[in-house]
Amino acid sequence: MYFEDFDNADTQERNGDDVYSKPVRAGKRTYFFDVKATKNNDYYLTITESKRRLDRDGRFVYDKHKIFLYKEDFEKFSQGLEEIIQYIREKAPVMTEKIEKEGNDEVTPFSDVNFEEL
């Protein structure tokens, strides 16, 4: 697994050809799940978090954080992710308390995490 930070949206992809992409919009962030191909036509996954913000000049810029995930790591990564999500669902009070809306639809509240504070 490889982790890379990007300061703006103008950074271009440097590794592999795009094969398939799935954007997921989540509040102020967008997550991109991109399947890429190596020169040998072997696939790997990049996961990009993109968050729009204002810079000092009042222009919109995008903070991007990217993870490269190779197929030999898929199983351990998915097991770890599944385990930690289950832990949060069971232990975090804000995730386990459900608020009922009209029509018996349930909404689970959550908070926006500022990763710079971690």
> Rounded mean pLDDT of 55-73?
94
Cβ neighbours of residue 94 closer than 8 Å, sequence gap 6 or more = 109, 110, 111
How far is 69 from 60, CA to CA, in rounded Å?
A: 29
Q: Is the pLDDT of residue 62 over 80?
A: yes
Rounded to two decimals, what is the model's pTM?
Answer: 0.61
> Rounded mean pLDDT of 41-60?
93
- Host H or E run for residue 83: helix 74-91
Q: Is the pLDDT of residue 39 over 70?
A: yes
How far is 34 from 17, CA to CA, in rounded Å?
A: 10
How far is 21 from 101, CA to CA, in rounded Å?
A: 34
In this structure, CATH architecture of domain 2-97:
Roll (3.10)
Here the tokens at position 8 are 């703006």
C-beta of residue 89 within 8 angstroms of C-beta of residue 96: yes
The domain spans of the chain are: 2-97
Residue type, 25: R
Judge residue 44's burial from the number of C-beta atoms within 10 Å of its C-beta, 0-12 exposed, 13-18 middle, 19 or more buried.
Answer: buried
